[in-house]
Amino acid sequence: MSTYATAGATRPGRPRVIPRAASAAAPRDEILDVAAELFVNRGFAATSTRDIAEKVGIRQASLYYHFAGKPGILAELLELSVRPSLEKVARIEQECPADVPEAALYLLALVDVETLATVPHNIGKLYRMPDVRSSEVFEEFQPALQELTAAYGRLGAGVVSGPVAATVGLNQLGGLLVQAVEVVIRIRSGGDEVARVHAQAIAATCLRICAVREERIALAAAAAEDLIPLLGAAIT
């Protein structure tokens, strides 16, 4: 568990300073949403808890009923960018057919695209930002990011062939595959929505990085489509 664990998550906050438009979101979720927007657009270091509280419409003291401080908010946002994908890795490895091992990597890429495409305010950008990467919070986040990279490397190693297999190490392969999926961050940064066709193209690109033949990519795509409902994914 992170040392930046949230404080008093179930305690009610004090009355709002400036009422916001009616929202079904809990105050804690509103804080996360506003913080994500400010961190991405303004920067983590340049955003204060007062800034977040004022935009949410609560007193600064009320924010501390839900989070111990700004590092705790950042820690939770960073986790949102990887945890949904990590939680599905074991099920992907379990459910994918043994005769189409390429489906596991294809499906992980699809799931990870969905994660990065749906997190609020494109928060995947956060772990590329210098003020985030230099923070203690990022040091605690790195193992989760490394775990996801290792999963990509492991699934990639099961299907990689040719010169790629001979020259690219496991960690390097995982990093290349992660970078391929993170194109989602750039798509969103350009103001575009991430469509199903983007997800399919990115997943196929991951297999091409591993030098998988096109006919095997087609098999992997078909197998992955059958497994998406089992994962509770909503890839659109």
More confidently predicted of 25 and 119 = 119
Q: How many domains does the chain have?
A: 2
Q: Are residues 69 and 100 in the same domain?
A: no
- Where b means 16+ CB within 10 Å and e means fewer, 143-172 reads ebbeebbebbbbbbbebbeeebeeebeeee
Residue 233 is predicted with a pLDDT of 57
Mean pLDDT across 209-229:
95
* DSSP H stretches of helix in 43-169: 49-56, 60-66, 70-80, 83-95, 102-118, 130-133, 136-157, 162-167
Residue 26 is predicted with a pLDDT of 87
Single residue among 78, 93, 127 that ends a domain in this structure: 78
How far apart CA 200 and CA 222 sit, in angstroms, is 11
Domain that holds residue 177: 81-231
**Is residue 18 predicted with pLDDT exceeding 90?**
no
Share of the chain above pLDDT 90, in %: 80
CATH of the domain at 3: 1.10.357.10
Q: Are residues 137 and 106 in the same domain?
A: yes
Tell me the whole-structure pTM to 2 decimals.
0.87
Among 11, 56, 14, 16, which Cα is nearest to 32's?
Answer: 56
Is 236 inside a domain boundary? no
**Is residue 155 predicted with pLDDT exceeding 50?**
yes
pLDDT digits (tens, 9 = 90+) for 159-175: 999 899 889 998 999 99
Q: Are residues 19 and 134 in the same domain?
A: no
Is 225 inside a domain boundary? yes
Q: Are residues 67 and 29 in the same domain?
A: yes
Is 217 inside a domain boundary? yes
Q: Are residues 102 and 204 in the same domain?
A: yes
Is 53 inside a domain boundary? yes
Q: Are residues 12 and 62 in the same domain?
A: yes
Residue 229 is predicted with a pLDDT of 85
Mean pLDDT across 197-201:
95
Q: Are residues 132 and 177 in the same domain?
A: yes
pLDDT digits (tens, 9 = 90+) for 56-79: 999 999 999 999 999 999 999 999
pLDDT digits (tens, 9 = 90+) for 78-112: 999 999 999 999 999 999 999 999 999 999 999 99
Q: Are residues 4 and 54 in the same domain?
A: yes
**Is residue 194 predicted with pLDDT exceeding 50?**
yes
Q: Are residues 194 and 227 in the same domain?
A: yes
